[in-house]
Amino acid sequence: MEYKFVFDLDSTITKKEILPTIAERFGLGEVVGERTEAAMRGEVPFEESFRRRVALLSDCPVSEAARAVAEIPLNEHIAVFIRENPDRCYIATGNLDVWIEKIVVALGISKDHVFSSKAATEGDCLAKVGEVFGPEQKAELVRQLAVDCSVVAIGDGANDIKMCSAADLGIAFGGVREIPEGLRSVCERVFHSDRECAEFLDKLVKRPGL
């Protein structure tokens, strides 16, 4: 049975957290950064934290926020793996669809392989945040994919614990931030180098029985 790969986006594919990066662009970096770190450590429920952080950015132009996100450097070895295996790879992120479109294009992955929170806009501003794609939704995506394949889930924070627990193989990635113990405890593999992580994923593609 072949593998499919579900990636968290922030600090897994990207080298920086997306919400704090947008906040920095508009002078709100400190408060949003502190709230993001608390959410990533699992100290605050993800959806509650996410909606509060987005509310602080609701008046910021969406186009400028998207430009800030597009400038975030990627963990290039992981990005290359995704570009070389787009049909096998999925992105599961709480970030808003209107912010991450350019990253999706840069990774060469189809939109139907990207699962994110949804937003409506009015002009160049956020009007409403709809469904938030949080930890439960990430885990459900993995369970749906696992019906006809083996699923590898790769994440970095507490909000990835359920996703990695639901996968056939969970990978904790600590190339950007310290891995929470809760995530480490449910994962079969831990990597701190995106090159080593990508090399392992490539072996799974080439040797499905590994």
Render pLDDT for 92-144 as a digit per residue (tens, 0 to 9): 999 999 999 999 999 999 999 999 999 999 989 898 899 999 999 999 999 99
Q: Considering its fold, how many domains does the chain have in total? A: 1
Count CA atoms within 13 Å of residue 5 on its CB side. 28
Q: Could you tell me if residue 59 is inside a domain? A: no
CB of 156 within 8 A of CB of 173?
yes
Residue 191 CA to residue 154 CA, distance in Å, equals: 10
Helix, strand, coil percentages, rounded to 5, for the chain: 50, 20, 30
pTM for this predicted structure: 0.91
pLDDT band at 26 (very low <50, low <70, confident <90, very high): confident
Q: Could you tell me if residue 47 is inside a domain? A: no
pLDDT band at 195 (very low <50, low <70, confident <90, very high): very high
Q: Could you tell me if residue 172 is inside a domain? A: yes
Render pLDDT for 30-48 as a digit per residue (tens, 0 to 9): 777 777 777 767 777 888 8
pLDDT recorded at residue 137 = 97
Q: Domain containing 188 — which CATH number?
A: 3.40.50.1000
Task: Tell me the catalytic residues.
Answer: 8, 10
